[in-house]
Amino acid sequence: MYRRARAGLSGLAFLTFLGILTIEAIVSSITTDQGVVHYEVFGRGKPVILLHGWLGSWGVWQETMTYLGRYYRAYALDFWGFGESGKKRDSYDVADFVSLVDQFMEQLGISRAPLVGHSMGGTVSLSVAIRYPQRVSRVVVIGSPINGNSLSLSLKLAGYRPVAFLVYHQMTLLKLGIRLTSPMITKDPRWPEMMDRDLSQTTLESFLHSIASLRRTNLEASLAQIKVPVMGMYGSKDVIVNPRQWIALKRGVPHAEIVRFKEAGHFIMLDQPRAFMAYLHAFLEGERPPEPLTEVLEA
């Protein structure tokens, strides 16, 4: 399980990986015109912004933040309706999260930065690069849908109110289902506990509206507007988002670098953390990728 240390928060951190990951980070929040945004920041240097996926929170990035903090100032925020961010909203669409990133950067004085997004967070990252190109220097997407039709059937169904209502109000059964299917989703045994925590911080409306919006999203016609460097990471064993979404990304952004992780699923940063971080760091630095730890495809 992930545990966070808050007292006397400095810029220092330590990682204990004996089944428990502990990270000291600066814990804070900002108030936007649409609600409170909780975020955590670790490290010094140029900013990098990390965006979580559906039903997630900043916590999925703890190992990544510990690594990136050696080179950058890593920010991980919670979208409205998730984690510790505000939940008093009527809308939790992808477009709302795109606006959130712009407001977040404006308030923190971050004029431009790389965006690293997992799943829905990657879709948001690409959307920010399209809508606010001046904000984005690079984009990394991890298991992200370019077209909402690529979502698994269970996620598509979750975007319909009767289904969402039934699932959300049967939380015990949902958590049991997560535990039973966890081995098909990620190799990391901590993931069910992470999901338990994150699910407890969602609302029915954020659960429903965000996935319904993601299902309707299709960036294929807009990707050509993205001129900054892009990397797409996809796990060949992903059962949440069709891993062949890398093709749509490459078709829309011909200069995109594509990395396919043969032994990873939807959570590449958890399944193959060393390889993931090696490719991520090389891309952020504008360097050649490391010696192939996975299959790298150019087309």
CATH number for the domain including 102?
3.40.50.1820
pLDDT > 70? residue 229? yes
Which phi and psi (to 5°) does residue 47 adopt?
A: -75, 145
Dist. CA 220–CA 222, nearest whole Å: 6
Q: 273 lies in which domain range?
A: 2-297
Dist. CA 179–CA 153, nearest whole Å: 19
Structural domain count, the chain: 1
pLDDT > 80? residue 163? yes
**pLDDT, tens only, 35-84:** 899 999 999 999 999 999 999 999 999 999 999 999 999 999 999 999 99
Whether 62 and 196 have beta carbons less than 8 Å apart is answered as no
Task: Note the pTM of the prediction, 2 decimals.
Answer: 0.88
pLDDT band of residue 289 (cuts 50, 70, 90) is confident
| Percentage of the chain lying above the pLDDT 90 cut | 77
- What pLDDT was estimated at residue 32? 83
Mean pLDDT of 13-31: 53
Whether 229 and 283 have beta carbons less than 8 Å apart is answered as yes
Dist. CA 137–CA 129, nearest whole Å: 8
Chain center to CA of 294: 21
